[in-house]
Amino acid sequence: MKKRSFPTRVEGVSKLTGKSKYIDDLKFPNMLHGVSVRSSVPRGKIKGVSFKPGIDWEKFTIVRASDIPGKNVIQVILDDQPCLASSHISHPGEVVLLLAGEDREEVLKARDYVELDIEASPGIFSIEDSLAKKEVVWGSDNIFKEYTITKGDVAKGISAGSQVIEGSYSTGAQEQLYIENHGVIAHASDDGSITVWGSLQCPYYVQQALREVFSLPPEKVRVVQTETGGGFGGKEDYPSIISSHAALLSYKSKRPVKMIYSRAEDMEVTTKRHPSMSHIKMAVDKKGKITGLDFEFFLDGGAYATLSSVVLSRGTIHAAGPYNIENVRVHSKAVATNHPPFGAFRGFGAPQSIFALERHMDVVAKKLGIDPVEFRKINVLKIGDTTATGQSIAEEPGYHELFSTVDELMDFSEKSKSFAIQNKKNPIVKKGIGLACFFHGAGFTGSGESYLASIVGLEATRDGQVVVKASSTEIGQGANTIFSQVASSALGISEQSVIVARPDTSNVPNSGPTVASRTTMVVGDLLEKAGSSLVSTLRTTGFLGEVYTEREFFEASGKYIDQFGSLKSYVQYKQPPGIKWDEENYQGDAYATYAWAVYAAEVSVNTLTYETKVDDFVAIQEVGHVMHPTLAEGQIEGGVAQGVGYALSEKVVWEEGLMKNSQMTNYIMHTSADVPDIRVYFEEKNQNYGPKGAKGIGELPMDGPAPAIINAVQNALGSAPHFIPMLPEDLMEFMEASSES
């Protein structure tokens, strides 16, 4: 890729020097500190609450469900989750009571003196038990959502194959482990309005949740995003809960209230990646062509629906992968258990189903005696082919070129052969190499973007600046820098003259949530259109010529503002022509475009200690125009690092629905010392969507690392587990069981 000049990170210096203020840096006059009183049991009936002696309870503000002025609900998709539990407990850590006081340590101490009387009921903690209705813990059947995608005749496709290979796969929960814990400050004003400042991804989601809890119109609820130390999806929906709790304490105390979770509390009770279970039946003819794919896909949604239906949706659509298969059936369910609710995490369901499919591709290739790369080449999508939803691919994915590049960069085919010889000579450390071929849809699924109807604005000021107005948040991914680039390019001015307004629902329009790999492609495209419209306005009024300097642009802006009062351009999303989606049958154009990728991993497996080390990693992807090479490379490197942890170390240990290893000392995330050099390469062939043709890339790098790594383990050992995370003890048990069978 040709090197281009690009700006430095907009907020980089401020963060580097410590000038940036995060939520826990902020202090308000007369501020209280709030904490949550939580259930320790996973399921049961609330019989009563008592306050033990030894505490001066008059010093504290106490909030129960009965104090909620509006609806006792956390509004997400289904209104099934109470803001505060009033009669029933559905998961450990569910909040029953809120406390606030002037000294945080005193409030934490007081929390220990609150006793909850809960009559426990049996809970369920696995997908299998939920499907079997061992206990019915949600609705009539424990099923939050169910989808079926069909293409062709799967029964005919299965019977047409010369071989039919089946396999079952599973993935565990994963903690986002953002650097900054959840935190907010809420202030209920005397005029009945609510303001919340917080570490969050989606201000308008929080605003809507607060409106339900307080029965307020939008103009009475203001949500401001403060500097946010990471999100990865974990701050998409959960801030609605902590914000509601802090706001209720402020509403009752009539004072500002800060709530900051400890690391342990954050890890125990907030949303994580959904655990999954998959069963695949694949039929292949003698030439290696897949004739039929039958995929059963299940997610553990936890105690409440939250975002499980849309996480399931993306996982379902990506389950058949970037392969041209004539006969497909994908049947999926998200089910209820008594775990804390699972939610958004980078990749949003796709890493789970892609892991199962890409592991199965290597399993099938091995059984057929076909090279796994050649097997994929036979089946990958090309321009004009159709996906499982029947979407015709309008751009050339270029997988053959991606495979060739990976082979060139990693010497893939040669190492596949040489490692087999090398491993015979080394009885302890076995070398392996593996890859994953995948895609990721950019933007909301189907008609989602039309439903959002996002709005983005640009406003020129009298003092020579242009302000970007959008609710899309900077959470470490570089959104502010990209917005500055897009606006400056569209307006013909420098990046330094562009100011990105802080996301504040009282000041910026709803540009949609900062999720789904949509910020650059969708919101950036609206911003580009707003810039073109603003320039057109100046030209139409005669204040600006076809060719102009930055100084002339701002002179023209000043004249326009003098005459008309303000210079603004607001643009609302309109679905591109030709995109059709059948929501009921899950057929049609699931995404406007896709990013296409092949990732490869080289590993060493120590058969004495059962440790797996990733020695080399190559990530190559076609992502349209790369707006900012440094930021883009950082996104891919970070996603791969998370994927390495997802595959090899990040294991949530559950006990009766509660996370037992809720510390960074026993929930093991890979550090920079543990991950290999991640070699990142971009192709920029398809540039049809987004500003200058840029696609979304934020979630893509989460999808491929885990299957590539475990496929490399299979290459090293001859077989590998069908589950992740694969810790050394897990590999030991697998190898011992394999040797006995």
Q: What one-character-per-residue DSSP string does 577-614 give? A: TT--EETTTTEE-S-S-EEEEEEEEEEEEETTT--EEE
The last residue of one of the domains, among 192, 225, 260, is 260
Distances (CA, A) of 713 to 597, 640, 710: 20, 17, 5
pLDDT band at 282 (very low <50, low <70, confident <90, very high): very high
One domain for residues 286 and 413:
yes
Predicted pLDDT at 455: 98
From CA 288, how far away is CA 128, in angstroms rounded?
A: 33
Residue 577 in any domain: the answer is no
* Helix or strand run (H / E) with residue 717: helix 705-717
- What is the residue range of 611's domain? 276-445+584-740
Question: How many C-beta atoms lie closer than 10 Å to residue 488's C-beta?
Answer: 19
**Total number of domains constituting the chain:** 3
Which of 190, 245, 242 lies closest to 220 in space, CA to CA? 190
One domain for residues 251 and 199:
yes
Helix axes 705-717, 412-425, angle to 10 degrees: 40
Residue 27 in any domain: the answer is yes
One domain for residues 108 and 243:
yes
From CA 554, how far away is CA 563, in angstroms rounded?
A: 14
Which of 270, 243, 240 lies closest to 176 in space, CA to CA? 270
pLDDT band at 351 (very low <50, low <70, confident <90, very high): very high
Predicted pLDDT at 4: 55
One domain for residues 436 and 460:
no
From CA 464, how far away is CA 557, in angstroms rounded?
A: 8
Residue 165 in any domain: the answer is no
Residue 8 in any domain: the answer is no
How much of the chain, in percent, has pLDDT values that exceed 90? 97
pLDDT higher than 90, residue 741: no
Reduce the DSSP state of residue 331 to 3 states and report it: strand
- What does the pLDDT look like over 497-533, one tens digit per residue? 999 999 999 999 999 999 999 999 999 999 999 999 9
From CA 401, how far away is CA 683, in angstroms rounded?
A: 10
Domain containing residue 74: CATH number: 3.90.1170.50
Predicted pLDDT at 577: 84
Predicted pLDDT at 739: 80
Predicted pLDDT at 738: 87
For residue 395, what are the contacts with CB-CB under 8 A and spacing of at least 6? 383, 593, 685, 686, 688
Residue 4 in any domain: the answer is no
pLDDT band at 474 (very low <50, low <70, confident <90, very high): very high
Residue 140 in any domain: the answer is no
The last residue of one of the domains, among 552, 572, 592, is 572
Residue 164 in any domain: the answer is no
Domain containing residue 485: CATH number: 3.30.365.10
One domain for residues 561 and 598:
no
One domain for residues 657 and 627:
yes
pLDDT band at 76 (very low <50, low <70, confident <90, very high): very high
Residue 706 in any domain: the answer is yes
The answer to whether the CB of 441 falls within 8 A of the CB of 318 is yes
What's the whole-model pTM score?
Answer: 0.97
One domain for residues 317 and 438:
yes
Q: What mean pLDDT do residues 362-388 have?
A: 98
Q: How crowded is the C-beta side of 385, counted as CA atoms within 13 Å?
A: 17
pLDDT higher than 70, residue 3: no
One domain for residues 393 and 518:
no
For residue 320, what are the contacts with CB-CB under 8 A and spacing of at least 6? 149, 293, 295, 328, 330, 357, 387, 388
pLDDT band at 488 (very low <50, low <70, confident <90, very high): very high
pLDDT higher than 60, residue 2: no
Predicted pLDDT at 209: 98
One domain for residues 453 and 550:
yes
Q: What mean pLDDT do residues 306-322 have?
A: 98
Predicted pLDDT at 600: 98
One domain for residues 714 and 661:
yes
- As a whole number of Å, the CA-based R_g of the chain is 26
One domain for residues 307 and 193:
no
Residue with tokens 């499982």: 388
From CA 123, how far away is CA 121, in angstroms rounded?
A: 6
One domain for residues 365 and 463:
no
Q: What angle do CA 448, 452, 454 make, to 5 degrees?
A: 130
Average pLDDT, the chain: 97
Adjacent-strand bridge partners of 724: 171
- What does the pLDDT look like over 577-606, one tens digit per residue? 888 999 999 999 999 999 999 999 999 999
The last residue of one of the domains, among 260, 295, 312, is 260
pLDDT higher than 60, residue 1: no
Distances (CA, A) of 75 to 43, 60, 355: 22, 28, 31
From CA 201, how far away is CA 503, in angstroms rounded?
A: 10
The answer to whether the CB of 277 falls within 8 A of the CB of 180 is no
